[in-house]
Amino acid sequence: MIIESLEGGYDKNFTYLIACEKSRQAAVIDAAVGAEQIITTANDLDLKIKYLIITHTHHDHYAWAEALLKKLRRITLVTYSDALSGIGEDEHRMVGDGETMHIGSEEIQFLHTPGHYPDSICILADGAVFTGDTLFIGRTGRTTSPKSDTRELFHSVKDKLLTLPDETVIYPGHNYGEKPHNTLGNEKENNQFLQAESADEFEKIMQEYEESRVVGT
Ligand SMILES: [Fe+2]
């Protein structure tokens, strides 16, 4: 599978292009950088964008979604919730936990991972996991927005992400870590947010983080 990272947008956001090498069919994960940049990159790599997957409906992750849907015809918008219904004229597919989809001959799978936001999904694809704002390199997503739930985030991470094979490569929604991506095995060892064994313990770690947080990190 081809994975191309584009960084920019609101705050070190990532947009990813993932594609089947043979058919050149591609999906965009989060429309966080300019539509023209996404299209130019796809053209340079000889990819045909068929899907736009949004990891969750915080604005920075779909900032360019409408522009991209307008510029490219016949793209299927893929989300967990109906929050973005009606922004494009083409198909809108809402996916549930565990659902799969094909990009050319590559199968990808969606995991519903609420906590940072209720409609957060992670995408599993060929040994990679695209985690949106559920899990970054070095820490988890924050749970300070009105619909966040820290205990839910704990269970999403523990039950759905930490159970993946250690060699799985994490591709987060923002470049907040020491490196842009990392293996789950390395993160399990080094990410203190992943050391919590209970929801209570996790809540404590999150609270301490928020109290000592330096703005912009
Ligand atoms: Fe977010």
Residue 216: pLDDT above 80? no
> Is domain 2-212 classified as CATH 3.20.20.150?
no
CA of 197 to the centre of ligand 1 (A): 24
pLDDT tens track for 123-161: 999 999 999 999 999 999 999 999 999 999 999 999 999
CA of 81 to the centre of ligand 1 (A): 14
Q: How far is the CA of 187 from the centre of ligand 1 (A)?
A: 20
CA dist 189 and 216 (Å) reads 25
pLDDT band for position 162 (cuts 50, 70, 90): very high
Q: How far is the CA of 67 from the centre of ligand 1 (A)?
A: 20
| Whether pLDDT at 11 is above 60 | yes
Expressed in angstroms and rounded, the spacing between residue 45 Cα and the centre of ligand 1 is: 28
Q: Which two tokens stand for residue 210?
A: 């928020």
Domain ranges of the chain: 2-212
For residue 215, is pLDDT > 80? no
Q: How far apart are CA 191 and CA 173, in angstroms?
A: 17
Does this model's pTM top 0.85? My answer is yes
As residues whose CB is below 5 A from the ion ligand 1, the structure lists: 58, 133
Q: How far is the CA of 156 from the centre of ligand 1 (A)?
A: 15
